[in-house]
Amino acid sequence: MTRRTMDLLDDWGLAASDVARILELPQSIKTRHVGRFRDDEPFPDDPRVNRRVAYLSRIQEALLTYFPRNPEMRRLWIRRGNKRFGKRAPVALMVEDGESGMISVLSHLDCTFAWDLTGSKAEYGRSGSTAPQSAGIDTP
């Protein structure tokens, strides 16, 4: 997982300092040591790092769904300013805003993630109905 994540971050053109910020690596890991993760050293087993790696993996999967045959479009989308994010690039949002930026990007790319965040999935399952009750749809 470490190698795959580092390949993704390298593909996005992130500097070592940005990699450390986006993953929220512990203070004990210096920026100059980030390159070790490209080799055989795994990321630290830290809940914050693990959660961020999971977000990045889901973002990568979503981008693969959006642009299945065009890796250049995936890179372009992640680096180009986006109106949804105040004309900031999604990668800048993730680096600058941290976990909340990752959640924003993932919510934009993956509607099921956004749906889960709202609690709609839990409410939908409890209603016992196949039609969403809160959507203003009258069911017979």
Model pLDDT for residues 58-114, shown as the tens digit of each residue: 999 999 999 999 999 999 999 999 999 999 999 999 999 999 999 999 999 988 876
- What is the pLDDT at residue 111? 83
- Sorted by sequence, the CB contacts under 8 Å of residue 73 that are 6+ apart come out as 66, 67
Mean pLDDT, residues 109-134? 62
Report H helices in the chain: 2-11, 16-23, 47-66, 71-79, 90-97, 99-109, 111-118, 120-127
- Residues 7-65 pLDDT 10s: 999 999 999 999 999 999 999 999 999 999 988 899 999 999 999 999 999 999 999 99
pLDDT of residue 128: 54
